[in-house]
Amino acid sequence: MKFGTKTIHAGLEPDPSTGAIMTPIFQTSTYVQAAPGDHKGYEYSRTHNPTRHALENNLAALENGKYGLCFGSGMAAIDCLLKLLLPGDEVISTSDLYGGSYRLFTKVYAKYGIKFHFVPMADLSTITALANSNTKLIWVETPTNPMMNIIDIAGAAAIAKQYNAMLAVDNTFATPYLQTPLDLGADVVMHSVTKYLGGHSDVVMGALVAKDDALAEKLYFLQNAAGAVPGPQDCFLVLRGIKTLHIRMQRHCENGRIIAEWLKKQPKVAKVNWPGFPEHPNHEVAKKQMRDFGGMVSFTLKENTIAAANQVLTKTHLFALAESLGGVESLIGHPATMTHASIPKEEREKTGVLDSLIRLSVGIEDVDDLIADLEAALG
């Protein structure tokens, strides 16, 4: 089954009781049993819910995995994975990553005796320099948020295997439309489902997908025990959103390419970060592991000040100034004061998150209108 067909059909069946082609919203907390333990596979909706179950099956199929788990947010999904770790364990993470992930790592789990290393991973030698018998998790974002760096997933997987560590890939920016990390050797894929998978800026959710039976069993236990699950209404919205994922992502990619190339020619722009450029440091890796280059673009201004960035951020009309990304509408954001504000300034700047850095989530509007909007904002 090819990808576009999977988005609409994989893991889904018409409702057996009515024939409804859309998965119903099973808005229930509990299920009647014929006798103690004699039920139809559902006992309590924290543990299992038919709407959520359908979405989890669909996500697993899209990522070429066996097991999908949904959570109340992307951070809840990461939190579940980190609960597998013990005091004394070490995590090697890319240094260029979402600020919320950094905050969870350093402000929550570090105090439980888990050691985190943050290194640039465009060159995998930074991982091998730190990997040891205590390394239990390698955390990868690719493309990274917001610098659009590319990390070699297959190469990182080989290192993880050598040290008997898990490789987890945050696949939020790429989605399974562009890359499937499990096929490249990753153990777990994480999504902020809020973004491209939902696709319409109307739901908050996270997900994990895995292939290994034993790993999935541990994750399902933690999902149920900690209980950070989404409700059936949200699951229904994401199932509906995923049905157009392939055509939305195609347009995101088309518009992203045109806007990245246009920004490159603008006199006030110092640098554009987009993995589709031949001069991107890991462009060849991106070509190898991705099917296209996505709709996320970031750029810095020649005048590297927050004031200069604000002049652009407050003058767009179609690009809405807002947190998040991946919706059908275009968004513009300022990582230093928004998505990455929880990372100390000197740490941010080491990765390239300067005061003038602006991040675009390029939507699926008419690209000529989007360019006109940016042109007016750049003056």
Q: What share of the chain is helix, strand, coil (3-state, %, to 5)?
A: 35, 15, 45
10 Å CB burial of residue 268 (0-12, 13-18, 19+) is: middle
- 118: which DSSP letter? E
* Rounded to 5°, angle at Cα 349 from 344 and 355: 95
Report the catalytic residues. 46, 98, 170, 195
Orientation angle between helical segments 306-313 and 367-378, nearest 10 degrees = 140
In the three-class reduction of DSSP (H, G, I as helix; E, B as strand; rest coil), residue 372 is classed as: helix
In the numeric block, the tokens 């209108």 are attached to 369
Place of tokens 């005048």: 303
Q: What is the DSSP letter of 193?
A: T
**H or E segment to which residue 70 belongs:** strand 67-71
Give the tokens for residue 268. Answer: 């006030």
